[in-house]
Amino acid sequence: MNVSIKNLVKCYGEVRALNDLSLEIADGELFFLLGPSGCGKSTLLRCIGGFEKPTSGQILFDGKDVSALPPSDRNTAMVFQGYALWPHMTVEENVAFGLEMRKIPKEERDRRVMAALKGVQIETLGKRKPNELSGGQQQRVALARTLVVEPGCLLLDEPLANLDAKLRRDMRQEIRSLCKDNGLTGIYVTHDRQEALSMADRIAVLKDGVIQQIGSPQELYRHPVSAFIASFIGETNFVKGTVRGETDGMTQIETADGMLMAAQTGQTTGANVLISIRPEALGYAKGDEMNQLAGRITKSDYMGEIADHWAKTASGAELGFFELNPQRDLPEGTAVKLTVKPEDVVIVRED
């Protein structure tokens, strides 16, 4: 099922939670809505599910306008944060509930419930009550309950929020596989960037009810259009500079700590620009590579497999960088020469 959102506006009194938002989600796509708290993610998901009525705009499923339809007529299923399982019903009864509501005959109901339980690997737990299950197992019941009604689109509102860190990580690929194996379109709300980066086909980052950027995880992480996206989707260093021209398909940018070449063109000579450099893109210079930045260590956090270092440049800029498999201590004041590849020098819009 493909989902089309056209010029959606949702106001709560004075608050414009969604501000003229348009979006196309392809059939079978796992699409993420990511953004800080209050940016409008849940409002958008609830509008798609029919739990919230848009102030204006349209929602289309496979080209058909569903804006006026109640949730039960939308062929969507929602997985909520708090599972919302019935405590007095067994796992099987919880999963069968949606089918009973739809008046599916018992034989077919039993077959589909078993298939759904198998799909999330809890077929042996059918007779238990929710309070006899772990958090992860309850999550699986919640998923089985939505899959069993065979929706065209699965709506997931922070479904892993209540789980511990390890289970969260384990469940990421399981949910992705469930969507892919069942050919489901999935729309997934989270404020957890790693969840989005590791699971999504595409991500829309929202702020103040407006989409700031849409792209694949790699596009958003490697080519953020703005300072907001760059810092929301990962850690980064910002450096200011002035464009001095183009050579060999690269832009020359003068900074307070020397010239940097960026593998991005089309900038206006003389323009002041903001550059984003990720901490893992900075490494020690071995010789006379281009794009060198010299500084002195101000702080180091050793964490075994990785160390987080900070170095202050001559101009006073503080640069954070990661060192994988660190071999030695870097005491405060140690002089370091760092380098960054032109493709990792990313010009972003200032917010």
Nearest distance, CB of residue 3 and ligand ADP, angstroms: 17
Q: Which is nearer to ligand ADP, 29 or 158 (CB)?
A: 158
- Quote the CA–CA distance of 241 and 345 in Å, as a whole number: 11
Q: Which is nearer to ligand ADP, 39 or 144 (CB)?
A: 39
Q: Which is nearer to ligand ADP, 15 or 84 (CB)?
A: 15
- CA atoms lying within 13 Å on the CB side of residue 320: 12
Residue 38 found at the interface with ligand ADP (CB under 6 A): yes
Cα 229-233-16 angle, rounded to 5 deg: 55
Cβ-Cβ contacts under 8 Å for 126 (sequence gap 6 or more): 90, 91, 92, 113, 114, 117
Residue 212 found at the interface with ligand ADP (CB under 6 A): no
Nearest distance, CB of residue 27 and ligand ADP, angstroms: 25
- From 5, 25, 39, 149, residue interacting with ligand ADP (rule: CB under 6 A): 39
- State the number of binding residues for ligand ADP (CB under 6 A): 11
User: What is the three-state SS of 299-340?
Assistant: EEEECCCEEEEEEEECCCCEEEEEEECCCCCCCCCCEEEEEC
Beta strands at 210-215 and 202-207: parallel, antiparallel or unpaired: antiparallel
Q: Which is nearer to ligand ADP, 39 or 147 (CB)?
A: 39
Backbone angles phi and psi of 262, in degrees to 5: -115, 140
Any idea which residue has 């339809």 for tokens?
69
Nearest distance, CB of residue 42 and ligand ADP, angstroms: 3
Nearest distance, CB of residue 277 and ligand ADP, angstroms: 29
Residue 326 found at the interface with ligand ADP (CB under 6 A): no
Q: Which of residues 5-34 bind ligand ADP (CB under 6 A)?
A: 12, 15, 17
220: its two tokens: 């958003």
Q: Which is nearer to ligand ADP, 11 or 274 (CB)?
A: 11
Any idea which residue has 């596989």 for tokens?
177
Beta strands at 283-284 and 335-339: parallel, antiparallel or unpaired: antiparallel
Residue 37 found at the interface with ligand ADP (CB under 6 A): yes
Residue 43 found at the interface with ligand ADP (CB under 6 A): yes
Cα 237-198-342 angle, rounded to 5 deg: 35
Nearest distance, CB of residue 156 and ligand ADP, angstroms: 13
304: its two tokens: 């075994």
* Cα separation of the two ends of the chain: 35
Q: Which is nearer to ligand ADP, 56 or 177 (CB)?
A: 56
Nearest distance, CB of residue 255 and ligand ADP, angstroms: 35
Residue 190 found at the interface with ligand ADP (CB under 6 A): no
Nearest distance, CB of residue 16 and ligand ADP, angstroms: 8
Residue 41 found at the interface with ligand ADP (CB under 6 A): yes
Q: Which is nearer to ligand ADP, 41 or 109 (CB)?
A: 41
Backbone angles phi and psi of 141, in degrees to 5: -60, -45
Residues near ligand ADP (CB under 6 A): 12, 15, 17, 35, 37-43
